[in-house]
């Protein structure tokens, strides 16, 4: 009888070491969470110590497993480095480390393994202490209840010379009642009202949920002209408690003119009309690129019915690309997606924004699924905007203040005159348009003379 071969047990790979807070979890928290979750940060509580993190371990596990934290909504990019400079998402291994640490009983570990925590500016500014700050002339009173129309505040800079801005931050004194802020720049002598609009022209800075500051790489900056005026367009949302807010904006300046000027434009569907109950309404807007440029970042903007958003590129040679796809848009976190490497668009390319909206009763944030929803300023209205920042490939130093014609859809005067000019005098007076259109009329009345004529429209 042939003896059976002796079977030796297979050597199993050693089990990975149990994660500890000091060696494994603290580095992840410091890199991914402390920017907001610290004293003076935007987060509702700090995560600066072992006790902070351990106390909230169950909640941390829930939000990292469902993907709601850290807030990042771009579709996964596959293998390799993320294309986004500010990608806040956790890698698979980071999520697994935190979960294993919690399941192991949240061991503290050796204090000698604890990395040195990052330092933050004592002033509380995310960009560091600004070189210049400007604030509203007086505090704004916000009632406890109701809705407020957009607040337009004019703040002169009185700068004696042009300055080049390399980082910007907007800080409310009471962020609990601030939904969003757009800041426009009017050069000396220009009508200021024309800049308080949301198509990208004149846009300079923004404060929206999850996005209150920006710092540009070396060699890039925005131009803040001599004696410019800052036009704040502020959307306040009463929250049950009467309060005040006095908005500030801070700038850090570059010492010299940049190699490239950062500009902002947008695609926008202002004819938006979302049918009642529509669960997946689609809206598109596009712009033809008028000069060779490099896109630096994207920032879509929608309201409560926003469901998804993506940007699409079509180049003159027929090639296409989808640089950013957001399959699950979150109104509470309107992020700026900053490219690690800019995308070059040659003249004649087309950039398109494609938005999805959920106006159905299944959308828990939907205030009224029974109505047609159109473009409007209030949160209960809708917007379909796709901002993008860019620099020109061929920057002409002699024309640094010239913005190429890139922006939202352009209105034409003649069709409006035929519709609203009831007395036939060639101009549209304010009382010739319905009251609901008065805000739009005021934006078009660039010289403030109470009438809109062809001269109020750019060539």
CATH number at residue 279: 2.60.120.230
273 shares a domain with 248:
no
Question: Are 243 and 174 found together in one domain?
Answer: yes
Q: Are residues 270 and 245 in the same domain?
A: no
Does residue 419 sit in helix, strand or coil?
helix
Residues 179, 96, single domain; the answer is: no
Q: What is the rounded distance in angstroms from the CA atom of residue 379 to the CA atom of residue 397?
A: 41
Q: At a CB cut-off of 8 Å and minimum separation 6, what does 353 contact?
A: 267, 269, 284, 285, 286, 300, 309, 310, 311, 312, 384, 385, 386
The answer on 78 and 50 residing in a single domain is yes
Residue 44 and residue 99 share a domain: yes
Nearest alpha carbon to residue 40 among 49, 32, 52, 48: 48
User: Are residues 175 and 98 part of one domain?
Assistant: no
If one counts the domains in the chain, the total is 4
Distance CA 301, CA 204 (A): 16
Domain that holds residue 164: 132-258
**Residue-wise pLDDT tens for the chain (459 aa)?**
566 566 556 666 777 789 999 999 999 999 989 888 887 676 778 899 999 999 999 999 999 998 888 889 999 876 678 899 988 889 889 999 999 999 999 999 999 999 998 887 777 788 999 999 999 999 999 999 988 888 889 999 999 999 999 999 999 999 888 888 888 888 776 655 554 444 445 678 888 766 789 999 999 999 999 999 998 989 898 989 999 999 999 999 999 989 999 988 889 998 899 999 999 999 999 998 988 999 999 999 899 999 999 999 999 999 999 999 999 999 878 889 999 999 999 999 999 999 999 999 999 999 999 999 998 877 889 999 999 999 999 877 555 444 443 444 445 677 788 778 888 888 899 889 888 778 778 767 767 788 888 777 653
Q: Which of 54, 37, 52, 30 is nearest to 102 (CA)?
A: 54
Question: CA 251, CA 134: separation in Å to the nearest integer?
Answer: 9
**Residue 311: inside a domain:** yes
- Whether 406 maps to a domain, the answer reads no
pLDDT, residue 4, reads 59
Residues 160 and 211 in one domain: yes
Kindly state whether residue 383 falls inside one of the protein's structural domains: yes
Is 312 a domain residue? yes
Q: Which of 228, 258, 288 is the last residue of a domain?
A: 258
Residue 157 near residue 224, CB atoms below 8 Å? yes
Looking at the structure, do residues 107 and 145 belong to the same domain, yes or no?
Answer: no
- Measure Cα distances from 189 to 134, 158, 399, 445 in Å: 20, 13, 18, 16
Compute CA distances 316 → 268, 348, 350, 387, 392, whole Å: 22, 6, 8, 22, 18
Q: Report the pLDDT value the prediction gives residue 192, as an integer from 0 to 100.
A: 52
Q: Is residue 408 part of a domain?
A: no
- Angle (CA) 120 166 397, round 5°: 165
Both 65 and 138 in one domain: the answer is no
Residue 214 sits in the same domain as residue 234? yes
Q: Which of 82, 113, 144 is the last residue of a domain?
A: 113
Whether residue 268 is found in the same domain as residue 392? yes
Q: Give the DSSP H/E element, type plus range, for residue 378.
A: none
Last residue of a domain, one of 113, 142, 163: 113
> Over 156-224, what HEC string results?
ECCCCCCEEEEEEEEECCCHHHEEEEEEEEECCCCCCHHHCCCCCCCEEEEEECCECEEECCCCEEEEE
pLDDT at residue number 407: 41
Of 340, 330, 194, 185, the closest CA to residue 263 belongs to: 185
CB 305 within 8 A of CB 382: yes
pLDDT given for residue 411 in this prediction? 55
Is 70:90 a contact under the CB 8 Å cutoff? Answer: yes
Q: Which two tokens stand for residue 83?
A: 């294309």
| DSSP strand pairing (281-288 vs 350-357) | antiparallel
Please check whether residue 261 is in contact with residue 395, taking contact to mean a CB–CB distance below 8 angstroms: yes
Position 440 scores a pLDDT of: 72
In a domain, 450, yes or no: yes
């Amino acid at each position: 009888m042939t003896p059976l071969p002796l079977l030796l047990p297979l050597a199993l790979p050693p089990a990975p070491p149990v994660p500890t807070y000091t060696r494994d979890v603290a580095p992840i928290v410091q890199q991914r969470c402390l920017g907001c979750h610290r004293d003076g940060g935007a987060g509702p509580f700090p995560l600066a110590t072992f006790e902070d993190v351990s106390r909230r371990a169950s909640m941390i596990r829930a939000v990292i497993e469902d993907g709601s934290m850290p807030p990042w909504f771009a579709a996964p990019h596959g293998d390799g480095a993320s294309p986004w400079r500010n990608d806040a998402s956790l890698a698979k291994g980071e999520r697994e480390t935190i979960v294993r640490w919690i399941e192991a009983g949240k061991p503290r570990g050796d204090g000698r393994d604890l990395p040195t925590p990052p330092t933050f500016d004592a002033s509380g500014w995310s960009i560091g202490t600004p070189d210049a700050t400007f604030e509203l002339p007086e505090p704004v009173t916000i009632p406890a209840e109701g809705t407020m129309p957009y607040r337009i505040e004019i703040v002169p800079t009185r700068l004696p010379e042009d300055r080049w801005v390399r980082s910007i931050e907007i800080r409310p004194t009471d962020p609990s009642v601030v939904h969003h802020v757009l800041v426009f720049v009017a050069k000396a002598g220009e009508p200021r009202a024309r800049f308080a609009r949301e198509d990208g022209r004149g846009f300079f800075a923004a404060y929206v949920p999850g996005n209150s500051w920006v710092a540009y790489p070396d060699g890039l900056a925005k131009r803040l002209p001599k004696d410019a005026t800052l036009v704040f367009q502020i959307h306040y949302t009463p929250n049950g408690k009467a309060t005040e807010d006095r908005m500030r904006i801070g700038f850090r300046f570059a010492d010299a003119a940049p190699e490239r000027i950062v500009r902002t434009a947008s695609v926008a569907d202002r004819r938006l009309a979302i049918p009642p109950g529509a669960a997946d309404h689609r809206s598109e807007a596009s712009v033809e690129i008028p000069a060779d440029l490099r896109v630096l970042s994207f920032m879509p903007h929608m309201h409560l019915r926003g469901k998804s958003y993506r940007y699409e590129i079509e180049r003159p040679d027929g090639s296409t690309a989808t640089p950013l796809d957001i399959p699950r848009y979150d109104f509470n976190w309107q992020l700026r997606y900053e490219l690690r490497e800019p995308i070059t668009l040659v003249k004649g390319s087309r950039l398109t924004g494609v938005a999805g909206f959920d106006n159905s009763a299944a959308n828990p944030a939907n205030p009224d699924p029974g109505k047609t929803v159109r473009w409007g300023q209030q949160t209960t209205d809708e917007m379909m905007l796709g901002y993008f920042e860019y620099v020109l490939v061929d920057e002409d130093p002699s024309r640094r203040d010239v913005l190429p014609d890139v922006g939202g859809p352009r209105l034409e005067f003649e069709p409006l005159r035929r519709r609203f000019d009831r007395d036939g005098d060639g101009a549209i007076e304010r009382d010739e348009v319905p009251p609901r259109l008065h805000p739009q009329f005021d934006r078009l009345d660039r010289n403030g003379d109470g009438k809109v004529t062809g001269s109020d429209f750019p060539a």
